[in-house]
Structure 1
């Protein structure tokens, strides 16, 4: 069924004049007559009768009109859902409990009028996220390409914000009573980070972190998700993990887990944002501006070699 013919029928029915419908749709009156005639042939009914004052709906036309309106509305919504600039701002995050999702949620709470679509591509290789940005599948992605030379010219990468790391331990762990910890105090302790995928940005991050501070970072074993990890930490006297200070984790009260900031230097996971270099989504800049409102990083920080140098204003530096 020709949806433009249906749209033409709806406007003619609402206006009662083929000429008025033609003027509103930007076509000739003859084109309106042809569209309605074609629709009547498809439906095998008469939709209008002509009168001295214009057109009136037949009984079949009256029955068809509410469904035709729904059809036109559905088509318009479908087009809006995929049209850049009019559809929701679609941003990829690593997980819905990640720091990226938390920051986006904070932004949305301050700007509830923003039509925001937060998605997770569930890919480990950041170059797959780059391809999704190039193809227009997402408007932006919180991913870092650790070798900027491999980033295509059509995609821009900027520094978004830094996520300070905390040690997460159960009550029986020997470091559980500490209020803060230095990287040197983490040595010899098993830091379990399941799910470190080859070629991922976080694999590079943890490799450099382990080398820089002689840490025992263990990625062995399957990743059964955060809930299982938290259960293991609650019962363990020797296993810890690292989490971002803005990452959202929930656990039963009897787990008594402790989040302990790592300082001197603060270990920072740098978060970047990928988006098209030309014609980005018009509502993306407001989100980027929001990064500047985040709390600045401490003076003494550690970052991997591929990240931008730390600054007191922790937002908006382009990485090229």
Structure 2
């Protein structure tokens, strides 16, 4: 591991100043992703600015009935918060599915959103990778890609985003707040992650030097009837091969509102807008749910060894929506 300087920030302005003083500095939250990448030589910061002591760990209701989550709140605290479990259960489920208890105790909300892909080629500095070294190629396209993207990928990168939390936040239209030396800003989470295109190394729309300070969930009554379902290759702690965050409002057998987002199928949490359009105003039955899944997955472009994900996600959509519809009518 490259030798690095370590500084602990006690306020936001101090953290920004410490980062601005060194172009090779990085913010450090729980370190559950960054430190691993430093050990592998993928990340080589000259300075780490520890932001865990910043006063950004709260989870509180907003005046309009939404929820404000501080960036340094741990995943464990977020998942256990009674307002999260009652009003946005899919978010609590996603966090609990995302890691072991030890990791959840360390990992922060801001860091979770900025974690990087678990693609084996990205993590191996002896291999080319456009995300790590722009222009070097994407060996996953013709190599090992069983767990890689089927939606929104390009010939330059087929890696998937690993966050479970981000999938639920995407389904609920979360807004990410940040601070820079020039002042505060906000980004809808749908705009936070950039399309892969031909620049996979540019992962987010955050300005240079930005520090995520929190996430706001707007009021969403539909979210109270929501679920996160994750499929993985083993029952213990593992990254998803496919996941879904879904919320459903059913009245008199008709879908009045639906929220869907997919995980582990694209370079970013994938909001299933086409599926939502099919669902809204349609009968809450298996035929509608299958049609919604097919509408979203029509854009899928699987590689030779990951076509199973299309079938997996179709079945996942139908199963989870059926469960939610049954619960809504009890």
TM-score (norm 1): 0.24
Structure in which a larger fraction of residues adopt helix? 1
TM-score (norm 2): 0.23
Q: State the structure with bigger RCO (CA 8 A, min sep 6), 1 or 2.
A: 1
